[in-house]
Structure formats: structure tokens, C-alpha cells
Amino acid sequence: MEIFRRNAKTSESKLQVELATLTYELPKLIGLGKELSRIGGGARGTGTGTRGSGETLLEYRRRNIKDRINHLKKQLKEIEHVRKIKSKQRNELYIPKLSILGYTSAGKSTLLKALSADEKIYVSKKLFSTLSTLSRRVQFPSGLSAIFSDTVGFIRKLPVELIESFKSTLDEINYTDAIIELIDASEENFEDKMLVVDNIVSDILRENIPRFVVFNKIDKLNFDKIQHIKMLYPEAILVSAKSKESVHEFLLQLEKKLLDFKVIKSKKIFVEYHNIWKIEKLKNNIGIKRQNQVDNGYEIEIIAKENYLNKILKEILNT
Ligand SMILES: Nc1nc2c(ncn2[C@@H]2O[C@H](COP(=O)(O)OP(=O)(O)OP(=O)(O)O)[C@@H](O)[C@H]2O)c(=O)[nH]1
Ligand SMILES: [Mg+2]
């Protein structure tokens, strides 16, 4: 809890930590009831006449905590409500939204930092360096963009109070198009950690959202270990969030997976010369896979999210 407290940076994570602490404190305080009332009773024996004051104090503290808990819950609900609206707006976006999930220290923030070239993203060896969701727009080599979100890391035996408090943050993953499950492949017991993540995710996830397993920190592995992982997880993507080349390759492979899982779609279209500026205008939101010059125009294979693809086709074919 102390680690969480120290790392809580946004007002929301501060509220969440306070809520978790109080929820944790209240049962303990109730458990203390007998002792405290005994103190009150003892005082009567000494003739100071404070019988009952111990209990009153306890009740007072209990009520105070309960009030504060209710207040915090209300505030968090409001923040969640605002985020839901934002998420919904993002959901109506014409580019895919992806969440990076994984055990604490897997390298989630490092990956987002490398993808977005945002030096300000905080990375650290300490546990739970990230407590609130952070999103960045990232471009695939094809030109297509996506929103990538960094999330709070998981641990084994995450206290129930904390799961409750962070549910709203993690709930974000229900509003994403796909999940990137990042694993520190250099850890001896990475498979145990994968299980922990799986359990928590299956607890929170409502929909059937595509999940891609990504092994990170392969710069720390020898050739044999890499081959071993490839054999065990043929579908997985391997990356070193610290290497630029590796991150480029990661984006190529990820985009392919997004196509395979129909998060994005590709379509061949024909565009006349005089309409090519329209395609130029759409860049950033679409990817271009192939472009062939043919009679009086171009044959182009574009990739985009389905809703956007439909819109583009209407706009381009209608005119
Ligand atoms: N060698 C190596 N180290 C890495 C790599 N990726 C991340 N790290 C290191 O791993 C540590 C944890 O990285 P973070 O990005 O903060 O991990 P995180 O998953 O965001 O952790 P939390 O926010 O605590 O959940 C840092 O010291 C990083 O420098 C990698 O590909 N190779
Ligand atoms: Mg982090």
C-alpha cells in the first residue's frame, strides 16, 4: 500500500489509494472494538468515570471513515463517468485503440516511451511506477495510427481492496480494440506471472477483445532461450523495448496481427489521378500497403478501422 501511495500521481490514483487504505482500515478498526471499549471500562475502575467514551470515540472514528469512504466513492464515480464519456468518444475514433497490460516492471511504460518517442514517460526499476492510464498516438510503418495506452501493473495476490479501487482504471481495457499482454521474458518465472495477469484480466474483461502476447526484454536472452520461447509460443511477438530496430519490427508484426484479427481491414481501391489528394488528406488515419500505377490512376491497398474504411469508400467513390 505504501508503494502505491508513493507512486500515486494523478488525483484519481490518490483517491483510489486513499479509498483502498480506508477500506482496509475499517474492518481492522471494527475488530479493535472490544479492546477500545475495554479501555473505557478500565477507566471506570480508576474512578475517572469515562465509561463508554472509548466506544464513542471508536464509533465517531468509524462514522468518519465511512463518510469519507462514501465521499471518495462518489468522487471516483464522477471521474469514472467522465472517463467513460472520453472512452466512448475515443471508441468512435477512426483509429484503433490498444492497451498495454502486464505484470509490474514488464516494461509497459518503456515500450510506450519507445513507440511514442515521449521522453517524459516515467520508467523505473521500482514496482508500480505507473498508477494511471496514459495514452499516446503512435504511427505504424504503413502510416496508420493507433492510440496506445499504458496501464497499472499487476502483482500476485493483488489485495482485494486494491483490485476494487483500480477496477475503474483497468476497466478502460474494455474500451479498447485489442490488448497487448507484455511479458518480461528475462524473468525465470515469467509463466507464473502470465497466469496472474490472465486471472486478473479474465476478472475484468467483459468482451471478447483480441489479446496479443508480447515477450519483452529479449536483449537479455541468449539465442537458445529465444528459440525456446518461439517454439512454446509461436504466435507471440518478441521485442526489446530498449532497441529502436526491435520496436519497428514489433509495429510491423502487430499491424499484421490487427489485420488477422480484423481489428483493422485492408481493401484495394482505385483512385483516379485527380483524386489522389484525397488519399493524401487521409494519411495518419489510414495505412497504405501497396500502390500501383495503372491507366488514369492508382490502385491502392489501404488499411483502416472498418468504420473508417466505410466512410472513406463512400467519400472517395461518391465523388
Ligand atoms: N534490458 C531491458 N530492460 C528493459 C526493457 N524494457 C524495460 N526495461 C527495464 O525494466 C524496468 C521496468 O520498466 P517499466 O517500463 O517501468 O515497467 P512497467 O511495466 O511500466 O512497470 P509498472 O509501471 O511498475 O507496472 C526499467 O528499469 C526498464 O528500463 C528491455 O527491453 N530490455
Ligand atoms: Mg509503468
Note whether residue 88 is domain-resident: no
User: What is the amino acid identity at position 17?
Assistant: V
Residues 200 and 239 in one domain: yes
State pLDDT tens for residues 103-121. 888 999 999 999 998 777 7
227 part of a folded domain: yes
**Edge-to-edge, what's the strand order for the sheet holding 287-294?**
265-272, 297-304, 287-294
The reply to whether 83 falls in a domain is no
Residue 85 maps to a domain: no
Query: How far does the centroid of ligand 2 lie from the alpha carbon of residue 225, in Å?
Result: 25
- Ligand 2 mean position, distance from CA 260 (Å): 28
How does pLDDT run across 139-153, given as a tens digit for each residue?
A: 999 999 999 988 777
State the closest ligand 1 atom to the C-alpha of 106, by its place in the atom list counted from 1: 19
Domain closes at, from 218, 239, 260: 260
Residues 226 and 304 in one domain: no
The verdict on residue 28 lying in a domain is yes
Same structural domain for residues 231 and 303? no
User: Distance between CA 20 and CA 17 in Å, rounded?
Assistant: 5
Give the position of cell 506471472: 193
Residues 190-203 have pLDDT tens digits of: 999 898 888 878 87
The C-alpha cell at 14 is 490518490
Domains in the chain: how many in total?
3
Residues 192 and 305 in one domain: no
CB atoms within 10 A of CB 287: 24
Q: Provide the 8-state DSSP code for 43.
A: H
Helix or strand run (H / E) with residue 182: strand 178-184
This prediction's pTM: 0.75
What would the pLDDT profile of 215-233 be if each residue is shown by its tens digit? Answer: 999 999 999 999 999 999 9
Which own/partner pairs from 74-83 qualify as long-range (CB within 8 Å, at least 24 positions apart)? 75/15, 76/12, 76/15, 76/16, 76/19, 76/165, 76/168, 79/11, 79/12, 79/15, 79/168, 80/168, 80/171, 83/168, 83/172
The CATH number for 229's domain is 3.40.50.300
Percent share of the chain, pLDDT over 70: 80
> What was the pLDDT predicted at 45?
40
Judgement on whether residues 156 and 110 belong to the same structural domain of the protein: yes
Q: Closest Cα partner for 133 from 95, 87, 178, 93?
A: 87
CB 148 within 8 A of CB 121: no
My answer on whether 43 and 12 are in the same domain is: yes
Residue 274 and residue 161 share a domain: no
Residue 300 CB-half CA count within 13 A: 23
User: 178 and 70, same structural domain?
Assistant: no
Domain C-terminal end among 77, 108, 125: 77
Q: Which of 234, 260, 286 is the last residue of a domain?
A: 260
126 Cα to the center of ligand 1, angstroms: 9
Is there a single domain that holds both residue 242 and residue 101?
yes
On whether both 213 and 105 belong to a single domain, the answer is: yes
Domain-located, residue 139? yes
Ligand of minimum distance to the alpha carbon of 197? 1
User: Residue 163 falls within a domain, yes or no?
Assistant: yes
Are residues 163 and 106 part of one domain?
yes
Ligand 1, CB cutoff 6 Å, lining residues:
102, 104-110, 123-125, 127-130, 153, 216-217, 219-220, 240-242
Label residue 305 by pLDDT band (50, 70, 90). very high
Say yes or no: 140 and 171 in one domain.
yes
Per-residue pLDDT, averaged over 46-50, amounts to 44
133 occurs within a structural domain: yes
> What is the CB neighbour count within 10 angstroms for residue 189?
9
Range of the domain at 292: 265-318
For residue 289, count CB atoms less than 10 angstroms from its CB and return exposed for 0-12, middle for 13-18, buried for 19 or more.
middle
Residue 318's pLDDT band (boundaries 50, 70, 90)?
low
Largest interatomic CA distance in the chain:
106
